[in-house]
Chain A
Amino acid sequence: METVLEVKNLTKKFGGFTAVDDISFNIKEGEIVGLLGPNGAGKTTTIYMLLDILTPTNGGISYFGKDLVKNRSEIMHKINFSSTYVELPWRLTVNQNLEVLARLYGIKDIKGRVAKILDIFDIVDLKNKKTGTLSAGQKTKVFLAKAFLNFPKILLLDEPTASLDPEIAAKVRSILLEERKKFKTAMLFTSHNMTEVEEVCDRVIFINHGKIIAEDTPLGLASKTKLTSVRLTIVDGMKRTVAVCQKNKWQSKAEDRILNISLAEKSIASLFQLLAKEEVEYSEVTIQKPNLEDFFLSEVGKYAK
């Protein structure tokens, strides 16, 4: 598969503050890559540099094997973006906004393309409404529609579903996956919704304080979190269970009759053997394997300490 985006040693400094610190990665055709990290990690700064509206302090960006700075206009025809941090002119209707942008991207059949994209995102009824009168969710859909206007080979999506309700967000995710399937569109995707990232992304790059901390599949990253969570509803023997946990140095947290225990997956069998030995009576057991959110929290927690 062709590499559509290659980032080499990208760095951005604002005075003495390093927002993005020597990051390198690439994205292949049709690949959806999640760019994760806490607020202020450098995700949006990275996206702005990839859009050439922020000059990097160091490093290089190339799309389709061509340097972004030297081939800006040619590259911009093939990429697009959507961000919760940007607006469209509020006095213009949705149709007018999309028409202007379609012209900027050099689309030939403007009317046809705008009509098609409005239909894909199910916003035909909004086309004559002024953009400023739309709800946050409607605006987000219009923005995503705008992002697909020029049949981009790569899309940069900065929290694209941030203000959508779960049902519409799910629809948007399915559209993203469908478009990827049809046109092999690559995507760089930032989101705070870990379930969404797990569902959509083939690979995740985790950044914190501007540095890449980890890079793997969502499942691969989740498995880096060693601890599994066991949730027990204790009928009799809460004190004995807590004592067992303390003795084995397993973290536990009690809430009424419910006890959450964090331990390595391989220790689960020992836990139940010990509970049987102590004659602890429990009514419900839930074992939750680590997910991307656990990884996110553990990594962010590490840095906070």
Chain B
Amino acid sequence: MLNRLYAIILRQLYVFVASLGRSSDTLFWPVVNLFLWGYLSIYFSQKGGINLLASLLTGYLLWMFLQRSQEDLSVGLLEDLWSRNFINIFATPITIWEYLLGLITTGCLKLLGSFFLVVILTYLLFAFNIFSLGIYLVPFIFNLLLTGWWTGIMINGLIIRFGFEVEALSWTMIFLLMPFSGVFYPVDVLPTWMQTISYILPSSYVFSGMRKLIQDGIFDWNLFVVSLILNIFFMLLSLLFYKKMFDIAKEKGYLVKNY
């Protein structure tokens, strides 16, 4: 009996070690949640009189743009890989850029559906209207979409290069940005080393701008421009990375071996 028990444990451990997805369930999520709820608690204990509901709900709604735009881009690619359809697609006149654009467009359509559903529910359940932020919602969303896309493009590059071993990044990597982005709390509550990382993330400027708008009624153009410049930089970097990963996969034969 002990031998059989050991066999099952061994089998699970092998999967745990070999699969990023399994290990992320055990290690990644607890750490992310700890950061998120820990710093959120610090923020709440330090600050009073803030519009909590508006801050949290707007934070969540905007975060959805970042998360969904990245996830739809990566899962779109995975759908073609899971169904072993990748070769069919890339043996047609399509270019890797057209394919990427196709995934981004599909992601936007899906996101639109998710957004309106959540906006309606937020209004019905919490009497909160995100459109009260007015036209300023557009630059916030635009920057977050850009962040989601370049993150997604980088993850797609990694999936094309390393295969299904790294597919879990599609669901996990974006959450790595969450504690540093200050979605639900300002980055000031973070320790210095975390703040340093926050400064290079375009999303942290968006969420800072969002809080400033909710609390002081001011749209900070500086924060928008910094976020945009960082996004453009990371977008260019991600496109170069994606092309490089695709070329390596084509050269090493990963496209035909894995998919």
A residues with CB within 8 A of B:
14, 44-45, 48, 51-55, 72-74, 76-77, 80-81, 83, 86-91, 101, 104-106, 146
Known: A73-B95, A105-B93. A54 touches B85 (CB 8 A): no
Compute how far the CA of A105 lies from the CA of B89 in the bound complex, rounded to whole angstroms: 10
Does B85 lie within 8 Å of A104, measured CB to CB?
no
Known: A86-B87, A88-B88, A101-B88. A54 touches B250 (CB 8 A): yes
Q: How many residue pairs, one in A and one in B, have C-beta atoms under 8 Å apart?
A: 66
Compute how far the CA of A87 lies from the CA of B86 in the bound complex, rounded to whole angstroms: 9
Residue in B closest to A102 when the chains form the complex, CB atoms: B92
Please report the total number of B residues contacting A with Cβ < 8 Å.
21
Known: A51-B87, A86-B87. A104 touches B92 (CB 8 A): yes
Residues of A within 8 A of B92 (CB): 76, 101, 104-105
Having A76-B94, A86-B85, A89-B85, one finds 6 other A-B pairs with CB under 8 Å, namely A53-B87, A54-B253, A74-B93, A83-B87, A88-B85, A88-B88
B79, B84, B87, B251: most-surrounded residue (chain A CB, <10 A): B87
> Which one of A74, A87, A101, A106 lies within 8 Å of B84 (CB-CB)?
A87
Task: Kindly state whether residue B91 has any CB partner on chain A within 8 Å.
Answer: yes
Residues of B within 8 A of A55 (CB): 247, 250-251
Does B253 lie within 8 Å of A14, measured CB to CB?
yes
The distance from the CB of A172 to the nearest CB of chain B, in whole angstroms, is 19
Does B89 lie within 8 Å of A104, measured CB to CB?
yes
The distance from the CB of A75 to the nearest CB of chain B, in whole angstroms, is 8
Compute how far the CA of A146 lies from the CA of B251 in the bound complex, rounded to whole angstroms: 26
Compute how far the CA of A48 lies from the CA of B87 in the bound complex, rounded to whole angstroms: 9
Does A81 lie within 8 Å of B250, measured CB to CB?
no
Residue in A closest to B102 when the chains form the complex, CB atoms: A104
Residue in A closest to B254 when the chains form the complex, CB atoms: A54
Compute how far the CA of A7 lies from the CA of B255 in the bound complex, rounded to whole angstroms: 22
The distance from the CB of A18 to the nearest CB of chain B, in whole angstroms, is 13
Residue in B closest to A73 when the chains form the complex, CB atoms: B93
Residue in B closest to A12 when the chains form the complex, CB atoms: B253
Known: A48-B256, A87-B85, A89-B85. A53 touches B90 (CB 8 A): yes
Compute how far the CA of A76 lies from the CA of B89 in the bound complex, rounded to whole angstroms: 11
Q: Which 4 A-B pairs have the closest CB atoms?
A: A104-B92, A87-B84, A89-B83, A76-B93
The distance from the CB of B59 to the nearest CB of chain A, in whole angstroms, is 35
Residues of B within 8 A of A88 (CB): 83, 85, 88
Residues of B within 8 A of A53 (CB): 87, 90-91, 250, 255-256
Compute how far the CA of A34 lies from the CA of B85 in the bound complex, rounded to whole angstroms: 25
Compute how far the CA of A105 lies from the CA of B253 in the bound complex, rounded to whole angstroms: 24
Task: Kindly state whether residue B25 has any CB partner on chain A within 8 Å.
Answer: no
The distance from the CB of A61 to the nearest CB of chain B, in whole angstroms, is 13
A52, A80, A89: most-surrounded residue (chain B CB, <10 A): A89
Compute how far the CA of A106 lies from the CA of B255 in the bound complex, rounded to whole angstroms: 24
Does B83 lie within 8 Å of A90, measured CB to CB?
yes
Does A51 lie within 8 Å of B83, measured CB to CB?
no
Residue in B closest to A57 when the chains form the complex, CB atoms: B251
Does A91 lie within 8 Å of B83, measured CB to CB?
yes
Task: Kindly state whether residue B244 has any CB partner on chain A within 8 Å.
Answer: no
22 example contacts (A-B, Cβ-Cβ < 8 A) are as follows A14-B253, A51-B87, A51-B91, A53-B87, A53-B90, A53-B91, A54-B256, A55-B247, A55-B250, A72-B95, A73-B94, A76-B92, A86-B85, A87-B84, A88-B88, A89-B83, A90-B83, A101-B92, A104-B89, A104-B92, A104-B94, A106-B93
Compute how far the CA of A87 lies from the CA of B92 in the bound complex, rounded to whole angstroms: 15
Residues of A within 8 A of B79 (CB): 89
Task: Kindly state whether residue B252 has any CB partner on chain A within 8 Å.
Answer: yes
Compute how far the CA of A77 lies from the CA of B93 in the bound complex, rounded to whole angstroms: 6
Does B91 lie within 8 Å of A14, measured CB to CB?
no
Residues of A within 8 A of B188 (CB): none
The distance from the CB of B248 to the nearest CB of chain A, in whole angstroms, is 9
Residues of B within 8 A of A77 (CB): 93
Task: Kindly state whether residue B80 has any CB partner on chain A within 8 Å.
Answer: yes
Residue in B closest to A150 when the chains form the complex, CB atoms: B92
The distance from the CB of B220 to the nearest CB of chain A, in whole angstroms, is 44
Residues of B within 8 A of A72 (CB): 93, 95
Residues of B within 8 A of A45 (CB): 253
Does B93 lie within 8 Å of A86, measured CB to CB?
no
Query: 8 Å CB contacts to A: which residues of B84-126?
Result: 84-85, 87-95
Residue in B closest to A83 when the chains form the complex, CB atoms: B87
Residues of B within 8 A of A105 (CB): 92-93
Residue in B closest to A86 when the chains form the complex, CB atoms: B87
Compute how far the CA of A51 lies from the CA of B89 in the bound complex, rounded to whole angstroms: 11
Compute how far the CA of A90 lies from the CA of B94 in the bound complex, rounded to whole angstroms: 21
Does A81 lie within 8 Å of B91, measured CB to CB?
yes
> Which one of B84, B85, B252 lies within 8 Å of A14 (CB-CB)?
B252
Residues of A within 8 A of B256 (CB): 44, 48, 53-54
Residues of B within 8 A of A83 (CB): 87
Residues of A within 8 A of B89 (CB): 104
Residue in B closest to A76 when the chains form the complex, CB atoms: B93
Does A86 lie within 8 Å of B88, measured CB to CB?
yes
Residues of A within 8 A of B252 (CB): 14
Residue in A closest to B251 when the chains form the complex, CB atoms: A55
